Amino acid sequence: MAFRIPLLTALLLSAPALAESDWFASLYTGEGVELRADERVFTLFSLLNATGFDDAPVTRQYPVPKRLFHPVRQQVRARVLAGDGALREQAELFFDAHPVPMDRYLAYTLQSAPPPFATGARAKELQELKGLEGLLKNVHAGWSLQDALAQAQGEYRRAVRPYLSALDEPLARLRTALKVPENGPSTLVVMNLLDAQGAVRGSQNETEIALVVGPSEKANLEGLLSEYARVVLDPQVAKRAESGWGNGAALLREAQLAGAAEKSVGAYAVALLSRAAALKALGAQDAAWDQAAAQGYFGLKELSRGFDDTSKPLDGWMLEALARVEPRKPAVKK
């Protein structure tokens, strides 16, 4: 990691005096991983919740589905759905004109200036969403989202604290396995209580890997590490696996039947390697590996052994290791 900040110093950063002027100011783990809320992300997901985003566990299916939202998400949804309807209409028009995945919207938002959103993302690959900053500016002001975020201060603090002491060691092991250099991108963890339980969404720019994590009962280390690995591995793995993994399509079909969410061979290859690296970094017990296999992510323990030799490049063993993966689904102990 780039620098160390003692845990005591990190805790002092959250003192009430600082919170009054900038309540979402960053906390830092001992290894310098930044933990924070982010007003840009809060604004984007307030807008998404106002326009139909309702991904969440379903606790009752009939007569109509009942979804489990974090209390902050419930409050924000009530606020924005009762707010100015013209803003929702403006958003729908923008979405119709820019029908790209949500994670593209998140990447653009994370590279935009903070409220009042004076500038948008400058990365060339994100310019398809140019103008989103103007929509976010209108939403932030029109629905008084600064006030809504301030009211959620305590909940965000409680949600982010479990990561302070739990993240450093497994993340360091993961970075070593993935050959991320010491002077590589810094890590930012953004808490997002307006997303689904257990969601983790990653984005990388030239200097930083941002991991936007949804609410969870405890620190979602497996999800966070898997997403970190996905961000790092995707450029190295996806295209090569699409063309070079001979039995990938057949294995993907088996995986989808078991519950895997990936739609392409390349994405599935990235998911397998990412989860294998994450579980290895966590020193996971057999039950975790078996649970992953039952969900359609086969052969992870075997794949994880490829990360043992940190001197061997991923290209040197990836396709050979993937070719040995078989659709075994061990029974998961209850």
Give per-residue pLDDT as tens, 292-307. 999 999 999 999 999 9
Q: What is the pLDDT of residues 224-245, one digit of tens each?
A: 999 999 999 999 999 999 999 9
Q: What local confidence, expressed as pLDDT, does residue 5 receive?
A: 40
Q: Would you state the structure tokens that stand for residue 93, as one six-digit string?
A: 């028009």
State residue 98's pLDDT score. 98
User: What integer pLDDT is reported at residue 310 of this predicted model?
Assistant: 77
259 pLDDT higher than 80: yes
Q: How does residue 48 score in pLDDT terms, banded at 50, 70 and 90? A: very high
Calpha distance 56→111 (Å, rounded): 26
Residue type, 99: P
Q: What is the pLDDT of residue 24?
A: 54
pLDDT at 331: 53
Give the rounded percent of residues in the chain with a pLDDT score beyond 70: 91
Segments making up each domain of the chain, as ranges: 7-191, 220-323
276 in Cβ contact with 301 (< 8 Å): yes
Residue 291 in tokens: 């649970």
- Distance between CA atoms of residues 119 and 149, nearest Å: 21
| Mean pLDDT for all residues in the chain | 91
Report the range of poorest mean pLDDT among 25-34, 93-102, 198-207: 25-34
